[in-house]
Structures are given as structure tokens and as C-alpha cells.
Structure 1
Amino acid sequence: MLKALKPYLQSMLAQREMTFWSDRAKRARKMDLPTLRDSRNKARALKTQLDDLLYVAEGRLALPMEGLNIFPTPHGTDWSWRPELWRGPLPVKGLASVPSQSKLGEEITLFHDCNYSELSLRQLRNRREEDLAPYGLRMDVFAFDGSFLSLVINLPKDAITGLTKSHLIRVSAIVETEKPLEIFGRLNVVHGPNTEQVVRELPLNQKEVVVEFDMAYTNLNEKRVEKAWLDLIFEGPEMNQVVVRDLTFARCPRAEM
């Protein structure tokens, strides 16, 4: 009973507090000086707390909302997805000196063949006004003595349910780099004993990168599709910082040829 009344009581106390200070403000010009001085000191203390609340509230409310999964998709889209790392906070925010096959969250895995890892991964909070994704991924690469570096994003079951050769899978990303490098996307689709692979280079000269993987140019066995994932492959990544502000997927029918 008391728990149910708590919001009501808090509301009443807040209203009484507001009425009290409204009355003090109206009487300020006619107050005796000791009362005015006491009111001023209390008002300053309250203002400090209110300023702190407003600072935190305005900062948090200006950020993209956690869990947000809204983004533009092509006409006719029958499946779309933003991976968990870009949607909400992960239990483990980052990894340093990352060994190969390390996971950040349940969907992202880093692969490399370095003898000594000078790589780090970290989830960061997006704070720019134009960001739709609440979170982003930062990868710092220092010395790199390997021959390959890739991030693997495992696609959910929904991505391959009903997948046919008439589908396009579209990947959109917002990528920032300290210095130019090449990034390739490789879509892998397992069907029975075979794996179809489609490779596209990400055009990093664009603010938002968009690439499409056309299933019509594969030998996909539509009845045996088992799983799919995307490799993001980084060429010459040493001494660079890569920030993936957003990463989204959409599946839609291709135009008839």
C-alpha cells in the first residue's frame, strides 16, 4: 500500500516545494534582510542541485535512445537489423591486446594472425546530433605484424529465413578512420556443404557507406540455407583508428531483370 502511494506523496511534496519557492520569489522585495539572506543561501544550494540535474538530463536526453533500431531501409524490405553492439550497452565495454577469435558481445568476433596483438576494441557512446545508433565501435591498431584482420558479424536466423536468389542484402555503415585504408565486406552464406561468398569494397569517400550483395549472382541452394555472416576485412590497418558509428542490414527483393 505504501509503495503504491509513494509516487503520489512525492508529487505532493514537489508541488508544495514549488509553491513555497514561488511564494518566496513574490515576497523577496518586501522581506526583512535576515529572512532574505537565509532564502538566498537556501536558493543557491537548491540551484546547484537543479543545475546538476539539468546538465545530466539534457546530456542524456540529447543522445540517441538506447535500444533504438530505427533506420532508413529500401522499399520492399522484408528484414532489417542493427546488431546489439550498436543498439545498447554491452556487459564488457572493451578489450585490449585482443587475441584472435575474441568476442565483443554475442555477435562480433575479431580475427587476425598477429604474433603479438597490439589491437583494442571498445564500445563507445555516440554523442553527435546526426547519429541514429546509440553506440559505436572503436578499433585501435598499433603495430601490426599479421597478414589479415577482420571483424565477423554473425547474422541472426531471421536474416536467412526465406532467403532466395531474388534477394539483395544491403549493408549500411558510418565509418571514420584516422588515415585512409581499404575495407572490404564479404557476405558468407552456408547452404549444405557449400558456402557462397560475395565481396564488395566499402566506398569510404562517402559519409554513409552502402553496399549491396546480390544473391542472383550466387549458386545459392535456397532449400539448404543454414547460416550467414559478414566479414569486415581491413587492409593495411597498422597505426590507425577505425570508428564504426553505425552498422545496419536490410534484405529486399531485387529488381526484375
Structure 2
Amino acid sequence: MVHFVGAGPGGPDLITLRGARLLSEADCVIYAGSLVNPALLALTKEGASIYNSAQMTLEQVLAVIGEMERSGKTTVRLHTGDPCLYGAIQEQMDQLDELGIPWDVTPGVSSFCGAAAAVGTEYTLPGVSQSVIITRMAGRTPVPERESIASLAAHGATMVIFLSAGMLEGLSTELLKGAYTPDTPAALVYKATWPEEKVVRCTVGTLAQAGREHQISKTALVLVGDFLSHSYQRSLLYHPGFSTEFRQGDGSLDGAAL
């Protein structure tokens, strides 16, 4: 059996209870060494085989899994954050299906959640943005043209941009082709939830400068949007004038919006 486990954004106590249990029971752990906090390996049992997938190809990963399966052993494939985002797990699951090897997925806390916690804000604010676009810049790995930064930036929604901290000059240029202005708030969140976490607030126009000044060029998320300005309307959810299935409003609605 192979368990794909989300390791969480970095803080070793942010792995799920299920993920920690599976990690502690595994005979073999193949972890994304370039991103997963190695402190999590302290949860593995004595004698477990440990492999760093940053130094392996897909074929090598599958060879190790196959060897473990033939020996009747259990493998945990430990991915950073939640494995459904930029985890390259679909190709692994499909190959395992072809090999007849059973698998399951244990979700994890994504770094985009950790980044919001680090900044101390909410992505979906009434009157500001009700949509979150999670994307990346085209680099060595291309993205579909319809999903270019400029195209997505046209919405003016909250954006969380992965895998792009090394391309901040170009990212800023592409963002400005959309609905954002040079003064639109932005933030660089380096290693969210790790001990060395760093938050740098800036604007779309000063992204590249902020990256240079704070020496951030990798392992960081870029947050963009007016949600960072802390100007928003009160939600109706807890407004005294708003009736719900559980509470009768008092009729005092004053124009607040969901």
C-alpha cells in the first residue's frame, strides 16, 4: 500500500493526525526533500527506509515502491503542503494503477493557507474579493496561454502565486497588464510556518525590489490583491440584522454585504 501524505506547509506540528500516524507506521518514506521539513522524519519508526525524492526520478521512485510492495511493506510518499497542488502526484497514481499497487491520499494544510495565517488576513473579504486564483508563472515548466498571469490578473481577484519568487520582475510586469496597478498591495511570504518564516509587504510595482532587498528568490509565495489593504465591508454572516437558519435577525441591516 502507498499512502500519499500532505506534510503541511512546514511547521512539523501542522501535519494532520492521520498523516502523522501513517508516517509513524510506514516501512518506507519517500519525501520531497527540497520542500518538506526534515523535522517530520523524526516521526518515522526505527528501521524505516528513508529516500529523498529530490534526488530521484519518477522511475526511481516507482522502483523503490515496487520493491517495497513485493516485500509486503507500506510506503508513505510525503509531499509538501497538500499534494493536490503542484505535487506531481497524478502521474504517480496513474503508474501505480497500471502496476496494480493500491494507494490513497491524505490531504494536508497547503502553504497558501499558511501564508494567509502569516500575513494575518483573509483572502475572501466582502466587497473586495470573493475568489482566490492559485497559479504560477511560466518558466522552465510552461502554463497554458489561457492561464497566463496577465489573463488571470484581468479579474482583479485575490491571487496566490506559487513557484515564481525567482521571476519577480517579470511577474510584476505581467500583473500590471491586468486589473492591478503599481500601488496594488502585495506580499512575499517566505517559508510560511517554518521557524525562519518572513513576511515582506510591498506593492505590485515594488515586488522585484522587495525580493532583492530581502534576498527572497525561492521557497516563497506571492500574494496580490486589495484584500491586503484591510478595507472591506462587514459580512452579513454575524450581523444582528441578518436572519439565518439558526438565528432571527433584528431588522437592523445597514447595507453590509456578504
Q: TM-score, normalised by structure 2?
A: 0.22
Q: Which has the higher contact order (CA 8 A, sep 6+)?
A: 1
Greater fraction helix: 2
Task: Report the structure, 1 or 2, having the larger strand content.
Answer: 1
Larger radius of gyration: 1
Q: With the length of structure 1 as denominator, give the TM-score of the two structures.
A: 0.22
